[in-house]
Amino acid sequence: GFGLTGLRAGYDSASAGPLTSFAHEQPNGIVVLENFDRAHPHIQRLLIPLFTEGTLRDEYGFGADAKKGRPDEKQVSFEKVTLLLTTTLGRRIYERSDYPRLYDDQPEKVIALLREELSQAAEFAEAEKSTSRNTGQGFRNVLGSYLGMARLVPFRSLGLGALQSISANRI
């Protein structure tokens, strides 16, 4: 976790975390966490305050005396940071044969199906946690209930033509 949110002063390699530093220095920035459901559950739990409170605590902190262990501030606001998480939890929805039609004709239904998928993943993780067995799925879905409350943006796979067009028009 300190790789994201800093390592307390006093350790040899102590410094502010890359994630919290970025948000502190770029309050209007964009953070992309790809395949977040595959992150270790400790990392997922570490980021729960980000979803519930909109802040993260950096153990090192910021300010002139941070190196001496007396930072001016440790809480980092993500209020204006755009956070994009990708997950494989909706894979079953995207692989449906009728997905392209649903995406075009009923995008609200796609979002409802994705929310249901996230809800089921969260329920499975909770049931697995209460029975003290870990088959690997619950391990990946610590944040399922939090992601279900987030704004979901379904996507449509890009075909070869679209990818060629993007690469031809890159800056």
Please determine, for residue 157, whether its predicted confidence score (pLDDT) is greater than 90: no
3-state helix, strand, coil in the chain (%, to 5): 45, 15, 40
Please determine, for residue 139, whether its predicted confidence score (pLDDT) is greater than 80: no
Q: What mean pLDDT, rounded, does the chain reach?
A: 83
Encode burial over 106-133: b for 16+ CB neighbours within 10 A, e otherwise.
eeeebeebbbebbeebbebbeebeeeee
Distance CA 139, CA 153 (A): 24
User: Quick one: pLDDT band at residue 27, thresholds 50, 70, 90?
Assistant: very high
The pLDDT, as a whole number, for residue 28 is 93
Number of neighbouring beta carbons within 10 Å of residue 96: 12
Please state the pTM of the whole predicted model.
Answer: 0.72
Alpha-carbon dihedral sign for residues 64, 66, 69, 73: positive
The pLDDT, as a whole number, for residue 146 is 74
- Residue in this structure with the two tokens 């800056």, named with its chain if needed: 171
